[in-house]
C-alpha cells in the first residue's frame, strides 16, 4: 500500500491516535502537527500503563516520561525523565521550537515545561500505584514487554494490562512531508534515572524527509546499542523497502546479542517517502495501526523473527 497522506503508529492503541492525527492530515495539515496531536491521545489515555499519565512508575514510584519529535526539516526536540507533565511530546516540541537545544532532562525539562504554561500534575494513578506495590513484593528486574504467548510477560497482572506499549508514530502529509513522534513512560519499574531509546533521536525515532522515517518499541537498551531507527532509515536510503529495512535492524540486534534477543521484544516500524510502510519485530505479538483515506482503523500484525 502506498500513497499520501498516511499515518502509522505502534500497537493497537495506535488506532485512536492515528484517527486524531488523521483530522490534521485529511485537511492538508502538516505531518508535524498530526503526529503531535496523535500521540497526545495515547499520553492522555489512563488505561495505557506505558505512555503518559497512568504510566507505570520507576522502581521508586516516580512516573518519568521520555519523548521526542522530528520534522521534515530535520528539526528535533526531546525530553527525558520528565515528571509531572502528561504531554511530554508537546514539551519535546517546545524544546525543538523555542530553545537552541535538542534535549532537556529531568528537573530542567520540568522547569522549562512549567515556565511555558504546562500544569504540574500527579501522573501516578491508583491502578499503576497498585501494580508498582505488587512489583515491590518481589522486585524482579525482568523487563516486562509485549510478547504474546510467553508466560513471563503476562504472569504478573491479569488480562491484557501489558498488552500496550510505547507509541511511535510516523506521518506523511498531503504535501509529501514526513514527521515522527515517540512517547513513553519507559520500561515499567526501571531504575531511577533510566532513559530508554524513545527520546533519543536515531534510536527510538528518526525522520529524513528525503527517504522516510522509522520508530521503535520494546527494550530500549538494545535499540540504543544499534541506533535502530537511524539504521532503518539509512537502509531505506539504500533502497530497502520498509519491511526489509526493519527486518535487517532486528537481525542486527540478534547478531549483537543472540541470547538477549530471544528473551526480549523489539519492534521497528517504518514509512517511506512514497507512503509505503512495514514493520518487523523480534517476537510475535507486535502490531501497528495504519490510517489513510481508505481505512482509518486498520491493525496489522507485525512479522517477527522468533
Ligand atoms: C523504552 N522503548 O523505554 C521503551 C519502552 C517500550 O515498554 O517500548 N515499551 O525502552
Give residue 290's pLDDT. 97
Question: According to the model, what pLDDT value does residue 145 have?
Answer: 53
Give bridge partners of residue 103 from the DSSP assignment: 78
64 is catalytic: no
Looking at the whole model, is its pTM more than 0.90?
yes
How confident is the chain (306 residues) per 10-residue block, as mean pLDDT? Answer: 89 94 98 98 93 95 98 98 98 98 98 98 96 88 50 37 75 98 94 96 98 96 97 98 98 95 93 98 93 94 94
Q: Select from 181, 198, 121, 132 the least CA-distant residue to 161.
A: 132
Q: How far is the CA of 184 from the centre of ligand 1 (A)?
A: 7
Crossing angle for the helix pair 228-237 and 242-256, nearest 10 degrees? Answer: 130
ipTM at complex level:
0.97
d(CA 185, CA 293): 31
Distance, CA of 234 to CA of 301 (rounded, Å): 24
Query: Pairing relation of β-strands 178-184 and 167-172?
Result: antiparallel
Atom of ligand 1 at shortest range from CA of 145: 7
Q: How many whole angstroms from 113 Cα to the centroid of ligand 1? A: 23
Q: Does the annotation place 195 within a ligand binding site?
A: yes
Write the Ramachandran bin of 103: left for phi over 0, alpha for psi from -120 to 50, otherwise beta.
beta
Closest by alpha carbon to 170, among 95, 79, 270, 90? Answer: 270
The reported pLDDT for the residue numbered 1 is 55
Of ligand 1's atoms, which has the minimum distance to the CA of residue 185?
3
Q: Residue 143 has what pLDDT? A: 56
Give the model's pLDDT for residue 26: 97
pLDDT at position 149: 35
Cβ(181)–Cβ(38) below 8 Å: yes
Taking the CA atoms of the chain, what radius of gyration do you get in angstroms? 17
Amino acid at each position: 500500500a502506498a500513497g499520501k497522506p498516511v499515518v502509522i503508529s505502534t500497537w493497537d492503541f495506535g488506532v485512536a491516535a492515528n484517527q486524531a492525527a488523521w483530522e490534521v492530515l485529511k485537511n492538508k495539515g502538516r505531518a508535524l502537527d498530526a503526529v503531535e496531536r496523535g500521540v497526545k491521545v495515547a499520553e492522555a489515555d489512563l488505561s495505557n500503563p506505558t505512555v503518559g499519565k497512568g504510566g507505570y512508575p520507576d522502581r521508586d514510584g516516580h512516573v518519568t516520561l521520555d519523548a521526542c519529535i522530528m520534522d521534515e526539516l530535520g528539526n528535533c526536540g526531546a525530553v527525558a525523565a520528565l515528571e509531572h507533565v502528561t504531554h511530554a511530546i508537546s514539551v519535546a516540541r517546545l524544546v525543538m521550537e523555542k530553545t537552541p537545544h535538542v534535549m532537556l532532562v529531568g528537573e530542567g525539562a520540568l522547569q522549562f515545561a512549567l515556565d511555558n504554561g504546562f500544569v504540574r500534575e500527579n501522573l501516578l494513578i491508583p491502578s499503576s500505584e497498585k501494580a508498582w506495590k505488587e512489583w515491590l513484593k518481589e522486585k524482579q528486574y525482568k523487563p516486562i514487554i509485549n510478547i504474546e504467548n510467553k508466560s513471563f510477560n503476562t504472569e504478573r497482572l491479569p488480562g491484557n494490562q501489558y498488552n500496550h506499549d510505547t507509541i511511535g508514530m510516523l506521518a506523511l502529509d498531503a504535501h509529501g512531508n514526513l514527521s515522527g513522534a515517540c512517547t513513553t513512560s519507559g520500561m515499567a519499574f526501571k531504575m531511577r534515572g533510566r532513559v530508554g531509546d524513545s527520546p533519543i533521536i536515531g534510536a527510538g525515532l528518526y525522520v529524513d524527509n528525503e527517504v522516510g522515517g522509522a520508530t521503535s518499541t520494546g527494550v530500549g537498551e538494545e535499540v540504543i546499542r544499534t541506533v535502530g531507527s537511524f539504521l532503518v532509515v539509512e537502509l531505506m536510503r539504500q533502497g530497502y523497502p520498509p519491511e526489509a529495512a526493519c527486518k535487517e535492524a532486528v537481525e542486527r540486534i540478534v547478531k549483537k546479542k543472540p541470547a538477549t534477543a530471544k528473551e526480549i521484544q523489539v519492534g521497528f516500524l517504518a514509512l517511506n517517502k512514497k507512503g509505503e510502510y512495514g514493520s518487523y519485530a523480534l517476537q510475535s505479538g507486535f502490531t501497528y495501526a495504519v490510517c489513510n483515506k481508505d481505512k482509518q482503523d486498520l491493525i496489522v500484525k507485525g512479522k517477527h523473527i522468533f
